[in-house]
Every structure is written in structure tokens, then in C-alpha cells.
Structure 1
Amino acid sequence: MDPKITNHFKDKRKKLMLKLFWSSIFTICSFHLSFGQNTQKIYARLNSLQNSINIQQEIVFHNNSNDTLNTLYLNDWNNAYSNKNTPLAKRFAENFNKSLHFAKNEDKGSTQILSVTDNNFKSLQWSRPKSSDLIKLQLNHPIYPGKNYKFSLTYIVKLPNAKFTDYGFTNNRDFNLRYWYLTPCVYDGNWKLSSNKNLDDLYSLKTTYDVQFTYASGYHIITDLDEINKETGNGVTTINLHGDNRSDLKLIFQKSSNAFSHFTNNKLTLITDLEAKNLNDITKASSANQVVNFVTSHLGDYPNEKLVVTALEYNKNPLYGLNQLPSFIRPFKEEFQYELKLLKTLLHNYLENTLTINPREEQWVLDGIQTYLMMKYVDEYYPNMKLIGNLSDTWLLRSYHLANMSFNEQYPFLYMLMVRKNLNQALTTPNDSLIRFNLKIANKYKAGVGLTYLKNYLGTDAVDEVIQEFYNNCQTIMATQENFEALLKEKAQKDIDWFFTDFVDSERHIDFKIKKVKKIKDSITLSVKNKTGTKVPISLYGINKNDSVVSKLWLTDIRDEKKVTIANTGIDKLVLNYDKVIPEFNQRNNWKSTGGFLSSNKKLKFQFFKDAENPYYKQVFFVPIATYNLYDGFTPGLRLYNKTFLNQPFIYDIRPSYALKEKALVGGGSFLYKNYIQNSNMYVVNYGLGGSSYHYAPDLRYSTITPLVSFGFRPDDLRSNERESLMLRFVNVIRDKDPSIQTNPDYSVFNVRYNYRNIGAINHLTWFVDGQVAKNFSKVSLNIDYRKLFQNNLQLNLRFFAGKFIYNDTTSDYFSFALDRPTDYLFDYNYLGRSEDTGLFSQQLVIAEGGFKSQLDNPYANNWIMTTNASVNIWRWIEAYGDLGLVKNRNIPTRFVYDSGIRLNLVPDYFELYFPVYSNNGWEIADNRYDQKIRFIVTLSPRTLIGLFTRKWF
């Protein structure tokens, strides 16, 4: 036979065998995908009057592991709304949210299991573990590796009020359904059991769903599932839905049919109710088309025909910042806002619906891709967009550094906000261990900024290629950070181990510094210092006199300090991280002039109000202020300070003022250096010097000078509200002498205080031990505050104070313990009239020392004192209070004291009113001067009040 013919048949046979091989592989894979995944059939009926769903469900669970399973766990996240002790309720309390604790029964959600049977109609034993939003099934026979297990459930879901998490029934009787049905937990060698903590991170494997849903005909359903058929009759509608390879079932039932718009192109059908009030339908369709095309071109095609993007989803994770301002002052064009809102939410759903990843453990991967593509979108379509939009062109703001920042600079800026507070957490920190600001903002932005940093370091399109390949590969396999890391390392042409060890898996920040610069003929030698020891690369730029880049070099392997020599090609300045791609802790030490020491000095810049940090200037901010007390009267002044929007280690704050009533200069100031310590329970050391000078009585001035050092301690879990501190200070007081007081007006007190606090909406505990030493006295005291909100909504407040003089050689009660109104000789309290003993200002109450509300005779103790203060709520913010105490003065028998009354706890610790009823004085309520006995607590400090609303974020 002709050899050519023989070779032809060999080649043909080889191709046939290869085709059969790949055909068999495809068949096996298809079999695995078709029969090796979970399937669910759900028959549901919505009872809109009772806010409940009757469900019959058939689940086929596939054991993908190599283990034999005898138990099975189900997620029952709807039951997280059932009582005050669920992980969800506790999470709310940690965030100072009492809504679920005070919820009425009709607003709570629950799941009532009626029956659970296996494929042979035999009942399965079930129980709820400690976490009430999980169900444990004891199987009648084991599930072997690679095998399926079929079982059925009948249950009633009582939906919660949507005011808790936006899921459930709304006030206008619409229904937003998510996590409304039971679904198997993931097993990968260990059961992945996670509770509902309002994080929207249920971990479930891809499932094929067949859903038959019956509901009142007045409702319209919004879903991304495929509609098989729909029948309406007798006032009800029954719809059959199907979805392949879905990770979640989100359904919306609305009475209105006009809320959602449909945009269709050759990629998918986008269904959304995101608003853009000033855009017509044609413009919105064009924007939607642009967003969809951008996402599909940078990720890949969406596997389903429809994608739903809701305003509810956007509002749970909005574009934080200027985009949340009221519409009439938003500085951005409507098209830009609409596209960014749509892009952010679409990207989240696009990735979440397609990739199967453990969202509680590895969410940073999806967050990184989402933020990276959002930054890329702005670079591509809005390259000149500024951080404050159109406001950057106004004459009032254009001189500010904030106005010159690009829109994408907000991402490293907001991440750095947490770094500067020493509250940054590693990207691999589980979602439920992240503080809220990191969960919602900082860690998402860090992940995206990190990918941009990596792209610039590699200098190629490797990151973009990896994102697209990762998305397409992981539609049929588990998406893990290990897969993502392996792809990046495969595509990168440089060593990028640092990205995962020192950026992703570390909370340490990045900070480099140029130390020395020296010109040697045609070269420049400089030293670069790594201040934190992170093994990451840093870019070095050479800038000429025209601020143009003449050279760029990536420096690597700087463990401590590195000497670098580069060619001098007309370089006027050397700058690290010139393009600000790297999220660096301090950029003020990133540049050096090659013209000598004097040319490196930064110019001084005075600016009204605070600004973003400008590394090329020494910024001094000023703002008018005004204070008030009875003796100085209205006191206008000027505040000079250096604090930018981001915290910095050294802060000064000087407040010269003029007292109109005294016609004299007054004011105060402070200098503070914060030394943050990473990877330590002692997370900060503060060194400070403060002083003030005001009047404590008519024509009598006081001045204080106080150096201090304090140490802050916290647990490893940053979500914990537990904090401890140790403070040492030396208070020096200089006063004008009051002729009516014979004691020396000047004194110094060394003060040591240890503080502990663990505050929350349900349990509140703070205590401190205080010691003071002065020339004529020494004392110690203990203060304990405890607040408890019980299951029956009864709130009990308890406070205990005990103080004892070690020695006391004073001849007045100025330094004595006080029952109701301490003399405040350390000038810690914000008294409006500190020397008053009659009139309205004398009725101001500061809960300190004895904590009594009634003004009793002989209220001081020069030996020891012990008091207990208690209050309990009667109705809402109305409480009954009572105080008991023992007071001991030298050479006088111990005295028992008490008082009681009504407390209006309008804003706890900030605005309260006290109405005495009965005390050692008798029936105070019967006194004809009763109005003079009412006491009040008021806080005028804006910073203190703002802290009341921001505490849930940090």
C-alpha cells in the first residue's frame, strides 16, 4: 500500500480517536453538570394578608465530597427574625440598632416546619442548632460520595417587616423576597455553616430551580428566572419559573407595574427600577447599553437571558460620598450618576449570580474585580471627572486640593481613612469580623486599588486578562481566591508573591520615605526608607522643572533602607508614588528636591476650613468658632489647626478667642502626637500637651496647662466594643484669687486613670479607677456604670461610685467629693456656670462622683463617699430614678442620703431632664420653688453629638 495512503488513514484514525476522546470527556462533564448538582422544586403560595408563604419543597442534594454524610444542614435565614437572641438580632445590637429587639410579633419573621420526609416518605428527625437560622437533619440512610439524596419539606414562612433588612413585606404591602426558602448548606470536607447577619452573603452551590408560585392577581412579579407559563383565574395567578445553575432566588411582588424598565440589547435583557428623574427613556437606554457592553467586554457574556438590578440592592451598597447628597446639590451630571449606580449594582449581581465563591470568606475577590472595573469605567468614559464634580470649578472651592483630586482618588482616600485610624483589616478577614466601614467601603476599595496597583507594577494587561479568564473559567467550577492567585501568578512576568502576603493577607499599611539625595556628576544617589517593613514595590519618579516625568523606576526588595543611583536626566525633584497609584500611609515624605536643603522646604498654605492632605504644602486651616459660658458670655474666636480629612500622627489645634462680656482674650489649644501600633493589643500611645484660659467667676480667670500620655488597648476582634485605656496627666491650674476663698488659688494634681468600656444597645458597661495626688491631698475612686435592656424591653441603669481620701490637709470643700455637683477643680466638665449655686445654671447636672439629682444640704465629703444611682424605664424615654448613698466627713458621723424622681431620657447622656419627687429634703414636688429643683443634662459639642451617629460605622 502506498505510504501516503497509509499515513492518510493513520492521521484520519488519530483525528477520529481524538474526536471520540473529547466527545467522551464532554459527555462525562455534561453528565456531571446535569446530574451532579443540586436541584429543587418549590411549590409556594403567597398569603399577602398574613405576610406568609406556604411551601412544599423537594430537594435533591448531591454529595460532591469524598466523605459519607449522615447528617445534612439547611440554611433557614428567614428564621433569623424570630426572636431577640438570634445572630441577626445580636448583630443589630452591636450596631446600636434596637429595631429587632423592640419589634412587635407581627413584624417578626419565622419558619414553621410541618414535615420533613425522605424519598421513601419516612420522616426525618430535625433540630435547630444553637444558631436558630440553621436546621440539622438526621438522615435515615447515608449519602455516599458522588450520590444524590432526595427529601421533601412542608413548611410555612412568616415574612418579616422589610424595615429590618429590606427583605420581607413593605408598608405598602409589596414583597421583596430573598432567603425566603430553605436551601442546603455547602459541604467541602467541612460544613460551611453561617448565620444571617444582614451581610447578604448566603453561601450556596449552583442549583437548578423549578418554581410554581401562586399569588393574588393584583401583584406583578419581577424575577430573572425563565417564565414557563402563567395562568390567572379566581383572583389568583400561578406562574411556573425555571432557572439553571442559579445560586439564589430573588423575587419581587409589586402592585405597580410601572416601577421597572426593560433594556434589551444583543447581550441580555436588563430589568431595573433605578431612578434617573431628569433623564428620558432614550438617554437611559443608551446609558444602560453602554454599561452592559462595558461589563460584557471586560468580563464575558452573562449566562442567563435576564438580569435584575434593583434600587433596593443599590441602596444597601450605594456609592458612598458626594453621590449620596440630595439631588438639588449633587455636583455630578445625571447620566454619570445613573451609569455609576447601574454599573456598581450590575457588576455585583453579574459576579454574584455567576461565580460560586464563599462570600463570607473570600468576598474580596469579587469586590476587587467590581471596584477595579468601576475605576476603569470612569477612566474610559469620564477621564476628567473630579472628586467633587462640577464644584471643582467654583471660585470658592477651586483652590482646595480636594477640588483637584480625580474621581477615582476617592477609593484610596476612603481606604486610607481607616488606615489613619489604625482600624484597617486584612482583605482575607471574614465578612462578619469586619467593622462596618471596612465591610461597606474600605476593604472593597482596597481590593480594587490593589488590582490597579498590581496592573501598574506589571506594566501589562495581565490583570485584565486574568479577570476575564477567571470569570469564564469559574462558571462551571468553584471560584476561589487560590484560583485567582494562580491565574495572576501564571500571567505575571514578575514576582508578585508580595501582593498576596503583604497586601491582601495583611493589615499592615505601606509607607516609604526618601531620606537623602546627593548629586554626583551625571547621577543622583538617594536612600529610600521602608517605614513599615511591607515587602511591596514602590515607584520612583524623576520630575523636571516643568513638572514633567523624565524617568520612572520600580524599586523592590526594600526591607529596611536601600540606596539607589539613577542617571540625572534633568531631574529637579525625586518623588515616590507620584501617580498616587499605591495606597500609601504618608505621602508628605515622598519627595526631595535635588537643589539642596532649602529648596526642599514646603510652602506654608493658609486655608479656610479643612481640606484633603496636600503633600507639597504645609497646610494651616482656620475657621471661626464661638463658645459660651456665663462669665465670658458670647465668645467668638478663630480656630487654627492642621487636621485634614484624614487623621495624621501630629495634630495641633489653637483657639484664640475674645470674651465679649469680660472684654478679654481667652481660649485654649492642644498638641497631640498619636503613635499607632500595629499587630498589638496596645494599639495607640498618645502624647499630648493642652491648655486653656477662661473665667470661672466674674472677673476671675483660670488657666490650665496639662501634659499627658495615654495608652489604648483593644481586643483582636475589632468589631468588639471593648476598649481599655490608661492615662497619666499632670494638671496645673493657675487662678485669680477669689477674696471669699482662703485657700491657695494655684495647685497641681497628678492624675492616673484606668478606663474600661464595653458599650452596646443591649448591654452597656463602663468603669474606671482614678487616683490623684497633690500637695495637700491624695484620693482614689471607683466608678461603675451598667445598663441592661432585658427581653421584656425593661431597661435598668445602675451606677456605683466610691471614693476615699488617703490624706486630706485641705481646709475647704473645693477638693472634696460631691453628691450632686462636683467643683470640677480639674476643669474636665463643660459647666455653663461652674461657680453658680443659685439660678438656672446651677441646675446643670453632670453625672459624676455622687451622681445625685436633688440638691441636698452639706453635699460634700472630705473623708469618703459611697453612692448608688439607679433608674428604670416606665414608658419609652420616661424613667423612674432613685439614688442612695453614705457620706462620711471628718469628725462627723456617717450620713445616709437618698433621693428619687422622674427622668426624661430624651437622648441618653446628651439631653436629659430630671424631676425630683422625694429625698432627704422631703416631698420636693410640693415645694413652691419646684422649678428651681429641676435638673438638666445638655451637650453642646457638635463633635460629641456626631459621635452618637457615627459609632455604628467604627
Structure 2
Amino acid sequence: MPAALADKKSFFSREQDEYQNPELHFFKDKQAFELPVFTDVTRIIRHPTYSEVFGIVEGTSDTVAFTYTIRVLSHSFPISAVLPGGDLLFQFFYPQPIDSNILTPLNQHLYLSLPAAHYIATIETDNKYNLIAPGSVESEFLGDHIRWSVTTSQLDHFNFLLSSNLVKLPPTKSNPSTEIYAQIPNIGKMTEVAVKADELRNYIKETYKIRQIPYLKIADLTDVRNAIYPNGHWIAIKIPTNLQYLPSSLAEIWMESFVKGRTITNRWKYPIFYKGLSEFLKYDFLKTQYPELKLLGPLANTLPGRIFGLDSIPYWYQNQLIFLFTERQGLSQPLNDDYARSSRLHLDGSGVAKYVSALFHLKGYLGEFKFNKLMYEAFEQGHIITPEAFHRHLSENHHRPLDWFTVDFYTKNTILDYELLQIRRCNYTQVITVKNRGQIKAPIPISGIKDGEIFITQWFEGHHGTRKIPVHTEVFDRIIIDARAETPEINHHNNQMRTAGILRRLEPVKFQFYTGLEEPFKNQIYWYPMLNFNAYDRILLGISVYNSGLLLKKYEYQISPQFSTGTGKLTGIANFTANYPIHSGFFHMIRAGVYFKYFHYDQDLAFTRWSPTVRFWWRKSNPRSMYFHITRLRFVDVRRELPPDYEDLPVDISNASYGVFSLNHTMEYTSILKPTIVKANFEKSSAFVKVFGEWDQRWMLPNRRWLILRLFYGQFLKNNLPSANAFYNFGLSGTLDYNFDYLFYGRSDSAGIWSQQMFITDGGFRAATGVYASRWMGSINVSIPFWKFLGMYADAGWADGRMAYGTGIRLAFITDFVELYLPVFTSQQRVGANTGYLPKVRFLFNPDFNAVLQRIRRGWY
């Protein structure tokens, strides 16, 4: 991997860039982490440096035997990592004979997996070390040295830990096949780990009747940051701060090790299958053994937990939340995509979560006994070597086709969405009408709810279109599809209906403070008191009511009335949006909405703005692509109150009311080292037509600060206003914001603190110039960091042929959100500015929450 990192065009380097991990790019001594390099000479693989390491190829190319001796006396051997306290972590990934026709950008730069291997290692160390290694380990004392002999097989890599800090706990009768190594302060906690490991072992034995579970070693590496790759023989645990999460932490690594030890799966080719299978076993264990475990653990029972509705959400529901986050944005991808085509969000969460949910769906449909039997046979008879073999095993042992699981869920980018349309009670039965709004013909669990509890659940075969289904004759309060929320449905909010009364499809309403996690069968309405400010409305007091949470909903609204203490009038905002995820084609999501604002923009002068808008999110050519495109079409209708002395002027001059149509396209290259944002804009109104664009290019320096270059150019194609009226003109120091997009606290002020607020728009000058262009404008802005938040800026530009420039000190407390500019030199003076230096200082303050989310999104999707 270090060799791959040295090649900036390698897959591994690009992956670290995508994962927003700059530390590796600025790491100087890469050789300190170099892994062994082997050369193939006449059927012998030999290590070229400090130790005698060689392997002889025996038999077929599928089996390689390595015999090597490593002397670790003075840390001279190139190792994977030196851990806190001087422990040594070795992780060897060995080359594999492969067909050159299957090389990909991924496996050209990563050590590959061995399909089958046998390792014999001889390791000589100082007496102070304990050895934690896979397989059979024998020791021989040589005075002040120890010679270890390690024999193991069926591994795709060989890793071991030489520790002088960990102590081996004595074995217990209840857990004789597990070794526990603990840090001295954590001995008590690691004793609890032994108990939980015993629970996991017994669960596998009792649930799936698997008897042969490998001897396992568990090492306490709580404070270690390095990634330890599991190999099925020993695992590294990091003890959570709150022990309530210990079963979850241990189950995750224990089940991953178990699956790793039972399969020889190519985890790079089948990342979702490999991880999804182990994650399913983890959640199945937790649901069975720890059903009381909540999603946020101890926080669920606190006052904030109850306020935000966390007390009722079980731990396992996080799979639903994770995959719904992606699915509702049209960002999901087939679960059988290999590692090189999988986005970070798909690999680290949504893809795995969807496969886990699909397995629970399958378990519910087959029944626990049959599902567990099929899993036992899959593990014992080697049917989980590949997902194709596993899925074929399932299909061949069930009397009905399982294509909905093996094909639709796993190989296609399709959605599951059943809607309950109608309930009719006849003399002898109840008939419900169910419509399939998705593309997957999956089985349907339908439950009858009586007195708030599930009375009965019946499974029905899936269908396309609309179908009438007779159900149990008991008189229920409600009928719900997937009442346990275990199937990977994209929308549970159309799954229930009351059997009597009016508005029977209306979900129970739940008022909730601020925000919360989505509950599948409740109509959550969020609220919070508002306290805002601007120079003309003064303090704004109000309340915001909305239904948008952490997950997108198809229809979202926000209503925020606010009382202006400065004017005594009611102001506020109101928005309504509709989200349409698209799972194939040019776009992955379309959002259409109407946005309304009413505030004051000057003393006793208000504005009203309506803005119907449509946004198109373009699908990436490859889910791992760092290029992100979005197109926006909107119309902005503004009505402004004017002072009495403007009443006799014509509307097109006074700008009392106007409409602006705009088309905007943004391209973002989301590299952490060299991000780029390019924006192209077209605007048209009755008074003007103009085009403009900007290029924001950044380079991350070794001090983790940004060197920023920004270019801007704008051109009027038509401008009917006289040059003295600068309302729509390009501004060298920023726009006049006639679209009312930005949060200016004193947008009409010409003096005072609020007149010094600015945003980097148009010419982007950090100093106030008072210069505007009615024909064309071009500018260049540079920001150079020096130390922490201290840096300098330089601006140069041309407005209708007039040149201006300036430079000064830039204090970037939070880049793009909180910055302060202290001008040192400028070729222009602000029109009407008071004498003195302080009025020339300007600041940027951007509290836009959507801009914050956009920054966090980088590297994920």
C-alpha cells in the first residue's frame, strides 16, 4: 500500500483522496510503513532485505507454501506499524498468481488475496514479547530470546502482533477456546469481553448448529488507530467508552472473523456480500440476545433522548435509516458492484444495510427454522464461497423462485414499495387492496394490529400492479404492511390504514422538538422556537413547523411565521418541495419547490419574494467519480415597498417589482487536495439579459490550509437600465443581491457594522470599492494561508474597462463561513466612506445550513 500511495495516480491514492484523508498525502517517511516486496525467481519468492524470507510454489497455483524466518531484535525489519508502548503490528499481503486479463485499476495497486495458502513462520524475538498470531503457535526459549513457530492455512494474508504491553488472561471453563489479551487498566472490561465472546459462540452453535468454530484470540487494542484486517483467527477489539455498546462492538468483529474463517471470498470483488453476511449475523444476534438495546444506547433513556424520540427506536433499525438515506436520493447502486465501482457511502453503509435488511426479509418469509437450516448447510457445505453459490443454494432448496432476493435485490438497482390502498370488511373476511409502486415482486408481510400490538402476521407472495388480498377475519384496529419494519421498503408511510372511522389512512401525528430519526408509521411534525435578527426587523420571534428530518421525504414543507419587534408586523418564510428519486438515467434526483420570504430590507420597507425552483442532480458516470453536477432552473418574483418619494417613478426604473429567470449549472470536483467548483449562470428579466460564471480552485498545503484562486467573468447581453442605476449591475465588491438569496443583516446600510458584511460574489473584492459594471466585469482573487487562520488576500479586476486592485490580511476562522478582511492597500476608495480605518474592515458570515451540509457531503456521495 505505501508503494501504491507513492504513485499519485494509483487506485489507492485516489481512494484516500476520495475518503478525504489528507494525512497520508503529506506523510514524509513512507518507507517506515513499507510492506515486504517479493520477487519471483525460479519458483522461489524471496524477501530482498533484512531477513531470510522465501516461499516455494508447490503443486497448483492455487496453493502456495511460505516458510520464513524473521528476527525482531532491534526493530530493523520493515513493519506495518509501531503501536503505543512499542508493540509491533505486522500485516503481510502476499502476491497471487492471476490471469492478466482480470487485472483492474484496483488490484494493480493492492496486494491480492490468496485463494488457498499454507504458512509456516519462525519468529525470533526478545523475551519481553507475547506473540498473538493465527493458527498453531509453539514457543522455544533461547536464553534471553524466544523462537516462535507459527503454522496456519486458509488465509489471504498473514498478520500478527508482538506485544510487551498486553497480558494473557487465564482461560475459563466456560470459554476454553478463546484467548484474551488485555491492557492492564482494562483487565476487568476484557473479562466481560470473554463472557460476551462465549455468548456469541453459543449463539452460532445453537442457532445454526455449527459445531466447528475456530479457536479465537482477542487482543485489546483500544487506543490504537491503525486498521487491523481480520483473518479469521485473531481479532482486535477497541472497548467502547460505554459498556452498553460492548455486545455490538464485539459482535461486529467476531462475526466478521467468523465469516472470514468460513469463506475464501474475494472481499474486493464482493465487498457488500462479505460484509453484509457478517453484519446480518451481528444484528440477528443482537435482536435475539439484546432486544432492549436502543439505537443510541444510554442516550435513549435520557431527557434529550425522550425529547428527540430516541427512546423507542431499536438498535437494529439503523440499517433502515442508512439505506433509506441513499435510496431516497436515487444514489443506490446494485449490491453486486465490485469494490472499484462502489462509492464510499455504498461500501461503508447503505449497500451493506440494504443487504442486511434483504436477509431479514428473506428470513421472515422462509421462517426461522428453514432459514437457519439453509444457513447451516451454506456454511458447512461451502456454499458461501461466492454470492452466486450462496444464492443458488437458497433457490435450489426452496419450492418457489427467490428471484426477488437473488436477482432483484442483489443485482439490480430497483426499489421495493407496496402501498395499502383500501380495506373492506365482508361477512366472513377482510379484503385489502395493495398496490406495488416499486419494481420488486417481493413477498409481503401483512399484520393485524389490535390494542396497539401485533396480533397476527401473514405472508403473501409478491405481485406487480394492484391485488386484492383476503386476510385474517379478526376485527383489528389497523392493518399494516411490514409492521416490524424489517423489509427494505423505500417508504413505510403508505403501509397502514385504520379499519374504521374517517381519515383512515392518516398516520398517528407526533409533534417533536427540532428533529429526530424517522419513525416508519408516524406522521412526525417538528417544531422549534425561532430567534432571528436583522437591522430593520430587529429581533424576530417566531416558531418553525416542518416535516423534513434527516431522511428526505417525498413531500416536505416548512412554515416559519416570525414577529418583527422593529416594525410590529408578521414576517417569515414558507417552503414546499417535492423530491423525486430516479434510479436510472441521466439524473438521480429531481427536486421541485416553491420558496417564499417576507421581511424588511430597509427601514419600514418590506419585500416579498416567491421563487418556484427545479433542481436536477446528475448521475455520476461512475459512483466513485469525484465530479458532482447539479442544474437549477428558477424564477424569482420580488415585490418591494418603496419610500414615498419614489412613488411617481416608473416601475422598471424604481425596481419596485420585477421577475428574474435564471439557469445555473454547478460542477464540483470533490478532491480533498485539489477541489474545484465551476459555476455557469444565465439570467433574464424585462430589464436585462446577462451571463456570468466563476472558477474556484483550491490546493491543500502541507499545513492543511487552503491556497485559493478564484476567477470571475460576467457579460450583459442586454441592459435597458441607465448606467447610474446599479441595481442589477455586476459589483466589483459583490452583488447587490436583487434575488434576495443571501442573509445580509443590514443589506441597505451604507455605514455601520452591518454595512461591512459581505459575500464572495461577482468581482469578489474583499475591500469595499463602490464600483459597478453595466457591460462586463472580470476579476481574479487569491487567498494565501500563512499560519493557522492567518493569511493574506489579493484582488484584481476590470469593470467596463476600469482596473482596480487591492490586498490585505485575511483571518479565516472557518473558511467560507466566518472570515475577517483587513485591507492594507487598495486602488479604490469606498464611495461616501467615513475617514478612519475600521469602516474599511469587512467580514464574511454565512450561517446557511445547506452550505454546511454541502461541505460535509464531500467524499461521501
Into which bin does the TM-score normalised by the smaller protein fall?
Answer: 0.7 to 0.9
What displacement does 1:849 show?
0.5
* Residue 732 in structure 1 maps to residue 643 in structure 2: no
Residue type of the alignment partner of 2:327: V
1:418-457 residue CA offsets vs partner (Å, 9 max, x unmatched): 2223222322122343333332233223222222211111
CA distance in 1, matches of 2:323, 2:666: 30
Shift of 1:404: 2.5
Q: What is the aligned counterpart of 2:385 among 456, 475, 479?
A: 479
Q: In structure 2, what is the Cα distance between the partners aligned to 1:550 and 1:756?
A: 52
Say whether 1:209 aligns with 2:85: no
**Counterpart position of 1:118:** 42
Question: Paired residue for 2:803, among 883, 896, 901?
Answer: 896
Q: Match for residue 240 of structure 1?
A: 149
Match of 1:253 in 2: 162
Q: Percent identity?
A: 23
Q: Indicate yes or no: 2:214 matched with 1:307.
A: no
- Residue by residue over 1:289-329, the C-alpha shift from the partner in whole angstroms, topping out at 9 and shown as x without a partner, is 222222344463456434335546999699xxxx99994xx
Deviation for aligned residue 1:863: 1.5
Alignment match, 2:82? 169
Q: Deviations over 1:176-210 (max 9, x none)?
A: 332xx351225379556674899x99522232212
Instruction: Give the CA deviation at 1:358.
Output: 0.7
Instruction: State which of 660, 673, 681 in structure 1 corresponds to 2:578.
Output: 673
- Structure 1 counterpart of 2:356: 448
**TM-score, L = length of structure 2:** 0.86
- Cα deviation, residue 284, structure 1: 4.4
Q: In 1, are the aligned partners of 2:63 and 2:115 still within 8 Å (CA)?
A: no
Match of 1:624?
529
Which residue of structure 2 lines up, in the alignment, with residue 868 of structure 1?
A: 780
Partner of 2:196: 287
Q: Aligned pair 1:91/2:4, yes or no? A: no
Q: Does residue 853 of the first structure (1) align with residue 766 of the second (2)?
A: yes
Aligned match for 2:481, one of 557, 576, 586: 576
| SS in structure 1 at match of 2:570 | strand
Alignment match of 2:408 (pick from 484, 492, 502): 502
Amino acid paired to 1:443: G
Of 264, 270, 273, which residue of structure 2 is paired with 1:365? 273
Task: Tell me the CA shift for residue 816 of structure 1.
Answer: 1.0
Name the counterpart of 2:233.
none
Using the size of structure 1 for normalisation, the TM-score is 0.78
How big is each residue's C-alpha offset from its partner over 1:616-672, in whole Å with a ceiling of 9 and x where there is no partner? 543322112322333333333211001234221111011222333444432212111
Query: Given the superposition, is the C-alpha separation of residues 411 and 78 from structure 1 closer, same or farther in structure 2, using an over 3 Å criterion?
Result: same
AA aligned opposite 1:881: Y
Shift of 1:727: 1.7
Residue by residue, what CA displacement relative to the aligned partner does 1:103-155 show, whole Å, maximum 9, x if unpaired? 2226863358596533589x999xxxxxxxxxxx9x9x999966988999999
Query: What per-residue deviation string (whole Å, max 9, x for no partner) do you get for residues 910-951 of structure 1?
Result: 23333333331499xxx9934433333233345543554453
Q: Which residue of 2 aligns with 1:939?
A: 846
List aligned pairs for 1:499-538, cutoff 5 A: 499-538=405-444
Q: Deviations over 1:400-429 (max 9, x none)?
A: 764323332232233222222322232212
Paired AA for residue 254 in structure 1: S
Residue type matched to 2:154 in 1?
N
SS in structure 1 opposite 2:529?
strand
Q: Deviations over 1:249-294 (max 9, x none)?
A: 2222334134878667566223355999695676544333222222
2:708 alignment counterpart: 797
Match of 2:494 in 1: 589
Q: In the alignment, which residue of structure 2 is the partner of 1:686? A: 591
Kept in 2: contact 1:550–1:569 (CA 8 A) = no
Q: Which amino acid aligns with 1:837?
A: S
1:79 aligns with 2:9: no
- Give the aligned partner of residue 51 of structure 2: none
Which of residues 718, 722, 729 in structure 2 aligns to 1:807?
718
Q: Which residue of 2 aligns with 1:271?
A: 180
Letter in 1 for 2:794: G
Q: Which moved more, 1:814-823 or 1:933-942?
A: 933-942
Q: What amino acid is aligned across from residue 683 of structure 2 in structure 1?
A: Q
1:41-190 residue pairs with structure 2 within 5 A? Answer: 77-82=1-6, 84-105=8-29, 109-110=33-34, 117-118=41-42, 168-170=81-83, 172-178=85-91, 181=92, 183-185=94-96, 187=98
CA contact (8 A) 2:63 2:116 kept: no
Tell me the residue number matched to 1:782: 693
Against the structure 1 CA distance between its residues 782 and 696, is the aligned structure 2 distance closer, same or farther, given a 3 Å change threshold?
Answer: same
Q: CA offset at residue 593 of structure 1?
A: 3.4
Q: Which blocks of at least 5 consecutive residues in structure 2 are unaligned?
A: 49-53, 230-236
Change (3 A) 1:563 1:748: same
Q: 1:559 aligns with which of 446, 456, 464?
A: 464
Decide whether the 8 Å contact of 1:433 with 1:719 is kept in 2.
Answer: yes
Q: Could you say what the CA RMSD is over the residues aligned between the two structures, in angstroms?
A: 4.2
Helix, strand or coil: the match of 2:269?
helix
| Equivalent residues of 1:275, 1:338 under 8 A apart | no
Q: Which of these two proteins has the greater Rg computed from alpha carbons?
A: 1
TM-superposed deviation, 1:484: 0.9
Q: Counterpart in 2 of 1:491?
A: 397
Partner in structure 2 of residue 221 of structure 1:
131
Q: Which runs of 5+ in 1 are unaligned?
A: 1-76, 126-136, 889-893
Letter paired with 2:337: T
SS of 1:403's partner is: coil
Q: How many residues align?
A: 835
Deviation at 1:689, TM superposition (A): 0.8
Matched, 1:347 2:255: yes
Identify which of 794, 799, 806 aligns with 1:882.
Answer: 794
Instruction: Tell me the residue number matched to 1:436.
Output: 344
- Could you tell me how far apart the structure 1 residues matched to 2:815 and 2:197 are? 47
Q: How far apart are 1:387 and its partner, in Å?
A: 3.6
Q: Partner of 1:758 in structure 2?
A: 669
The offset of 1:780, in angstroms, is 1.8
Q: Does 1:841 align with 2:754?
A: yes
Alpha-carbon distance between aligned partners in 2 of 1:800 and 1:532, rounded to the nearest angstrom = 46
**Deviation at residue 788 of structure 1 after TM alignment:** 3.9
Selected match of 2:543 from 638, 641, 652 = 638
- Given that 2:541 and 2:563 are in contact with CA atoms closer than 8 Å, whether structure 1 keeps it comes out as yes
User: 1:685, CA displacement in angstroms?
Assistant: 1.6
Structure 1, residues 783-823: CA drift from partner, whole Å, max 9, x if none?
A: 22222458999965332222122222224111111001321
Distance 1:585 1:197 in 2: 37
Taking the aligned partners of 1:216 and 1:324, their CA distance within structure 2 comes to 26
Counterpart selection for 1:540 from 430, 446, 453: 446
1:275–1:481 CA distance, 2 compared to 1 (3 A): farther
